[in-house]
Structure 1
Amino acid sequence: MKKILLNLVHPDINQSVVNKRLLDGIKDLENITINNLYQKYPDFKIDAKVEQKLLEENDIILFQFPMYWFSSPALLKEWFDVVLEAGFAYGGSYKLADKSFAVAVSCGGSKEAFSETGKEKKIVEEFLYPFEITANYVKMNYRKPYITYDAEAGLSEETLNLYVKEYVKYIKEL
């Protein structure tokens, strides 16, 4: 069974609705390590060697975060800048080559808003392109993202439960 590293990147997971439920739904799955980056690095001083070791010990690297301004929370960008350094992730040594790279993102807007005819004029996958190209650059296999919508809409228990069920399935299929 493949080992999964879930890098949770939520500035306040305790106040989250969608991401907290998703996390609660998968935390007991076998072979998954949850790495809560905001809890671990509230000062943004990331230990590259610790993070690189985690990456090397796992087969699938999953990033779970809410979409902030059509991207990720700031700590994830800092994590990429510090951890995916030359000599480790690229530039002669591709220590993550052939591992899987996946993204689970929650969007405040609706699926209709994230469409060619909607408010945002683009689908979510287009906003996630920097993650796909990063995976390609370090020779990882980019997987289809898991996307939830309407996080700011006051989702019903039924919808939240469906999201959790779909997320568990998504992770198991990685």
Structure 2
Amino acid sequence: MKKILINLVHPNFEKSLVNKRLINAISSFENVTINNLYDKYKEFKIDAKEEQKLLLDNDVIVFQFPMYWFSSPSILKEWFDIVLENNFAYGGQYKLQNKPFAVAVSCGGYEEAFCETGKDKKTVEEFLSPLYGTANYIKMDYKKPFITYGTEFELSEDTLNKFEQDYIKYIKELSK
């Protein structure tokens, strides 16, 4: 079973409904490490060496976050800038080459908003293209993202349970 690193990127995780449920659903898995970036780096002083060690010690890297203004929360950009250094992630060495790079994103809007004819005019996958570009540049294996929709609205317990079960299945698939 592959070791999975979940880089949790949520600036207000304690008040989260969906992301908290997803993390709780997988937190007991022996092969999963949860790395809460906002908890760990309140001042955004990211320890590149510590983060690089986590990346090297795990087989699959997942970035889990709520979509904010059609992008990821700001600490993730800072994390990429600090951690994915020349001669580590690219340049002379590609130490993460062929490792799976996955994204789990929660979207406040409904799925029908994220299409050419919808309110947002683009798909979530299109909004995630900078992450695809990053994974491609450092020669990681970009996986199909896990997406939840409608998270800013009141969700039924059945919907939340379905999100949890789907996420468990997604993580187990990445573990194979």
* Interval containing the TM-score (normalised by the shorter chain): over 0.9
Where does the alignment leave 5 or more consecutive residues of structure 1 unmatched?
Answer: none
Following the alignment from structure 1 to structure 2, what is the Cα–Cα distance between the partners of residues 30 and 138? 28
Q: Does residue 5 of the first structure (1) align with residue 44 of the second (2)?
A: no
Per the alignment, residue 161 of structure 2 pairs with 161
Distance in 1, matches of 2:66 and 2:28, equals 21
Aligned counterpart, 1:53: 53
Partner of 2:31: 31
Residue 79 of structure 2 corresponds to: 79
Q: Which amino acid aligns with 1:148?
A: T
Q: Where does residue 133 of structure 2 map in the other structure?
A: 133
Q: Tell whether 2:21 aligns with 1:21.
A: yes
- Alpha-carbon deviation of 1:30? 2.4
Q: For 1:136 and 1:153, locate their aligned partners in 2 and report how far apart those are by CA, in whole Å.
A: 34
| Code of the aligned partner of 2:108 | G
CA distance, structure 2, for counterparts of residue 71 and residue 85 of structure 1: 22
Indicate the percent of aligned positions where both proteins have the same amino acid: 69
1:71-93 CA deviation, whole Å, 9 max, x = no partner? Answer: 00000000000000101000111
Distance across 2 between alignment mates of 1:101 and 1:91: 19
CA distances 1:107-161 after superposition (whole Å, capped 9, x unpaired)? 0000000111110011100000111110010010000000000010111111000
Per-residue CA distance 1:45-94 (angstroms, 9 max, x = gap): 00000000000000100000000110000000000000001010001110
Q: How does 1:100-111 map to 2 (within 5 A)?
A: 100-111=100-111
* Moved >3 Å (runs of 4+): none
- Secondary structure of the residue aligned to 1:112 is helix
The Cα of 1:29 is off from its aligned counterpart by: 1.4
With normalisation by structure 2, the TM-score equals 0.98
Aligned to 2:89: 89
TM-score normalised per structure 1: 0.99
Q: What residue identity is the alignment partner of 2:107?
A: C
Q: CA RMSD in A?
A: 0.5
Please state how far the C-alpha of 1:12 moved relative to its aligned partner. Answer: 1.1
Aligned residues: 174
